[in-house]
């Protein structure tokens, strides 16, 4: 067996910042500490924090008045911030700056009275947060068919935005359909799909022809991880989206395959290495690391945490 380890893979700058923020908040304020939605969409990460006294909530009303709450990397709507202020919560904003960029674009387009067509997945935390910035202006589109079904005139004043964790190829197809339907549509000055999502997809696209099977470390509710598995399948290769090696069917390997291993932007490297170690032990696999693109991006901690240490809290 041969393992091809795709680079880049795993944690992106936004996830690193969000997890470091929660670690720092635990140091400073201690448990219990509340997080609005999952800190990132990864089951092992969430479970690890849950064991340390972090409580993940889906409704801001679940946070006791005066408590500390951290907003996840996916961002929140203004109504959530207002409700937190009303409940006198100490709020720490760990929203990924690339998600914040989309929020600001939504506010700008809404002020200019555009109908904003948001390309994304219904119910995703990021989509809910972005929509909350201008709910009366934003309409969600998830497919070319939904673009065609829009009840807007061809000369409508429209703009588009995208969820940051989409498939680049799928988003481009929908954007092309929007431009055909609305020739005067405007969009962001730069792509909303985040650098890490694009880079991980690019690595899979380039390496998947050399593989027989693809393992994507990531959780089922992780949008960008799902896109990696889908991308592998579109190239005709079986792909498994797993939290750990224990999630794999026992009979999925013959033992002489080339296995491409990657990880979504919210999946910890320890799960990748656990997977590699298991395949080495079981099949004597040898590993080849392949770097398609270098990443050197980092984001600062939220301003609420930058000046804090456990000693002065």
Residues taking part in catalysis = 126
User: How many Å apart are CA 25 and CA 94, to the nearest integer?
Assistant: 11
Distance of alpha carbon 194 from alpha carbon 297, whole angstroms: 11
> Could you write out the DSSP letters of every residue in 250-275?
TTS--SS-EEEEEE-TTS-HHHHHHH
Q: Which tokens sit at 190? A: 């730069």
SS3 119: strand
Q: Do 141 and 171 meet the contact criterion of CB atoms below 8 Å apart?
A: no
Spatial separation of the C-alpha atoms in residues 246 and 16, rounded to whole Å: 25
Closest listed residue to residue 165, CA positions, set 216, 206, 221, 115: 221
With both helix axes pointing from N to C terminus, report the angle between 195-207 and 168-181 in degrees, rounded to the nearest 10.
110
- Whole-number Cα distances in Å, 14 to 19, 40, 72, 158, 306: 9, 9, 10, 29, 16
Q: Does residue 123 sit in helix, strand or coil?
A: coil
Strand partners, 167: none
Cis peptide before 8 (omega within 30 of 0): yes
Q: Collapsing DSSP states into helix, strand and coil, what is residue 149?
A: coil
Peptide bond into 238 cis (omega under 30): no
- Residue 217 bridge partners (DSSP): 242, 263
- Tokens 């989509």 locate to 127
């Amino acid at each position: 067996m041969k393992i091809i380890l795709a680079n880049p893979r795993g944690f992106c700058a936004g996830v690193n910042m969000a997890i470091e923020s929660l670690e720092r908040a635990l140091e400073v304020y201690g448990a219990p500490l509340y997080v609005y939605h999952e800190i990132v969409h990864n089951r092992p990460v969430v479970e690890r924090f849950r064991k340390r006294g972090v409580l993940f909530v889906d409704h801001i009303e679940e946070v006791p008045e005066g408590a500390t709450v951290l907003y996840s990397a996916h961002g929140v709507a203004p109504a959530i911030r207002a409700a937190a202020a009303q409940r006198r919560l100490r709020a720490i904003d760990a929203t990924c700056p690339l998600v914040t960029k989309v929020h600001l674009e939504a506010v700008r387009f809404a002020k200019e009275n555009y109908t904003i067509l948001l390309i994304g997945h219904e119910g995703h935390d990021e989509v809910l947060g972005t929509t909350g910035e201008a709910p009366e202006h934003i309409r969600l589109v998830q497919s070319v068919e939904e673009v065609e079904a829009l009840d807007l005139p061809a000369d409508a004043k429209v703009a588009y935005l995208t969820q940051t964790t989409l498939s680049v190829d799928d988003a481009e197809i929908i954007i092309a359909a929007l431009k055909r339907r609305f020739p005067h549509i405007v969009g962001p000055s730069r792509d909303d799909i985040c650098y890490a999502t694009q880079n991980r997809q690019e690595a899979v696209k380039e390496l998947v022809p050399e593989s027989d099977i693809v393992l994507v470390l990531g959780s089922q509710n992780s949008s960008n991880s799902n896109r990696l598995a889908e991308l592998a399948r579109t190239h005709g290769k079986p792909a498994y989206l797993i939290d750990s090696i224990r999630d794999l069917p026992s009979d999925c390997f013959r033992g002489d395959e080339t296995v491409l291993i990657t990880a979504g932007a919210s999946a910890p490297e320890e799960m990748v290495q656990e997977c590699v170690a298991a395949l080495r032990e079981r099949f004597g696999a040898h590993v080849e690391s392949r770097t398609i693109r270098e990443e050197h991006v980092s984001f600062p901690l939220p301003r609420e945490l930058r000046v804090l240490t456990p000693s002065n809290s």
